[in-house]
Structure 1
Amino acid sequence: MTSARLITIANQKGGVGKTTSAVNLAAALAADGRKVLVVDLDPQGNASTAVGAQHTSGTDSSYEVLLGDRTAEQAMQPSPDNPNLFCIPATIDLAGAEIEMVSLVRREFRLYDALHNGFLESHGFDYVFIDCPPSLGLLTINAMTCAEEVLIPIQCEYYALEGVGQLLGNIGMIREHLNQQLHISGILLTMFDARTKLAEQVANEVRSQFGAVVLGNVIPRSIRVSEAPGFGKTVVAYDPSSTGAMAYVAAARELDLRGDYVPHPSTGAIGVSPEIYAELEG
């Protein structure tokens, strides 16, 4: 059994800071001395760009790993910004993977089989962050069968909880049928603008709905966070003294110090009470 924490960063709603959170939490932990792997399962390859991984078409990537044409070892690249940070990149080839995987044996467990075959243990990873596309197809299902923890970024803006009920339903379904260990271990508030009442209201609403699973540290709106991917870097590497970088460092340390959040029995199997679950789905 691997000692690495495997965390899928998920939200079916786009533009909530999913990829940004995945790569910056990974970079912050790597800068703190943890050995971290980012697995990019989004065909756009934004996570690969941010950690400085090559991901032009034809590069060994998560696409070949899922199809069984390459091992995780062969596809993995070191980040040029940190010797503790590694990436299995995504290329545009991944866009067709879901169709190609339909007929494969153990199609929902291709990533699990690729990583849990001694690869993680041999490299001694402390963390694996899996960035998946904003949809529930085979790529996201592979991410959720491979990991035990789900971290959900929620932006502090209008309609913040839109679609979260559906996400919880999908997590519950995967837990019931494919991965009994899957649960929500963290909710990260992103795009927080302290100048507006709305951001504070949304943060309070999320905390009242989800309780202690919500991380205490929030990620502010930051120009530097938006700029960093244009330079092929995480904000932690691009401008470590910026408010965005320091916020991600603080959130990463909180995630590390508190360990895997274990939900109270009253909140149900996935970490959300049945009442909240019903309300969000409604």
Structure 2
Amino acid sequence: MTVYAIALSKGGSTKTTTAAEVAASLAAAGRRVLAIDLDQQGNLTTRLGITEDTEISAVAADVLTGDASAAEAAIASPNVPGVDVLAGTHDLEDIERNPEVISALRDYLPTLANQWDDIVIDTPPALGLVTLSALAAADVVIAAVACETEAYDQLPRLEKVIENRIAKRLRPGQQIHWLIPTRYDVRRLLDREIVEQLQARYPGRVTSPVREAVAVRDAYTAGMPVSVYAPGTPIVEDYAAALAPVIKTSVTVQTS
């Protein structure tokens, strides 16, 4: 089982869009996927087709606090076969003050290997305890970096938090494994410069860029990953190319 965490302390940096694509790509390959939405806004939950009318017996916050098991809280995505969802709700805000949360997922998720092949965690745009819990649990940390200066400037902060709070004891050696440049427009000089800076700073860890597309917003409204909503479009081809080495590398390491 591989645990993927998508993180960056910048709202609107395409974390949720990327998390949904990771989950959908794994499911399309025949993997049993658990998607954990740790953002109280619940955007990944919505993007995977869970609505206010969906019957929910427990949520992601209940699993982190031990008040429910993942099996009890998991909801099958109606739009992405093979993906189950732990819903993100405002209950997550209440557990930010519970210090035991930081190691909860690291200790608990390995027990789920018989139920799911992979776990994909979407984190909030902050580096609080909930995000730290995801980083401590992750086998693969992915930074989705919109081609904007504001997003790029958040990377040193994420690296420092991983180094100081996670890599020393909670998850020795933890790091950002992959960076996915998103909202890319080759016509914009800034976008090209950001990709070049990423490649220079993180050699061998930067995927091919993902273009900006209106389909991303439309897919969210429809409650779907963009690859399910608009297959064959340029952004879907971009995500397939970007995620191919990410998923291949982690699965190869897991089975070797």
Amino acid aligned to 1:246: E
Partners of 1:24 and 1:158 in 2: CA distance: 24
Label 1:30 to 1:20 Cα distance change in 2 as closer, same or farther (>3 A).
same
**1:22-37 matched pairs, under 5 angstroms:** 22-37=19-34
Contact 2:3 2:138 in 1 (8 A): yes
Please report the TM-score for the alignment, with normalisation by the length of structure 2: 0.90
Task: Mark the runs of 5 or more structure 1 residues left unpaired by the alignment.
Answer: 263-282
Q: Distance in 1 between matches of 2:206 and 2:229?
A: 27
Q: Which aligned pairs between 1:238-257 and structure 2 lie closer than 5 A? A: 238-257=229-248
Query: Residues 109-188 of structure 1 correspond to what in structure 2 (within 5 A)?
Result: 109-117=103-111, 119=112, 121-125=113-117, 127-173=118-164, 174-188=166-180
Q: Is the 8 A contact 1:71 1:114 kept in 2?
A: no
* Deviations 1:248-277 (CA, angstroms, capped at 9, x unpaired): 222222212233799xxxxxxxxxxxxxxx
User: Are the aligned partners of 2:49 and 2:222 in contact in 1 as well (CA < 8 Å)?
Assistant: no
Please give the secondary structure, in 2, of the residue aligned with 1:183.
Answer: coil
Contact 2:80 2:224 in 1 (8 A): no
* Higher Rg: 1
Matching residue of 2:201: 209
1:73 partner letter: A
Query: Offset of 1:34 from its aligned partner?
Result: 2.4
CA RMSD of aligned residues (A): 2.1
1:259 to 1:66, Cα distance in 2 relative to 1, 3 A: closer
TM superposition shift of 1:229: 0.6
Find 1:87's aligned residue among 85, 88, 105. Answer: 85
CA apart distance, 1:195:
2.1
| 3-state DSSP of counterpart to 1:83 | coil
Give the superposition deviation at 1:55.
6.1
Query: What amino acid is the match of 2:132?
Result: I
Matching residue's letter, 2:223: G
Letter in 1 for 2:95: A
**Alpha-carbon offset, residue 181 of structure 1:** 4.5
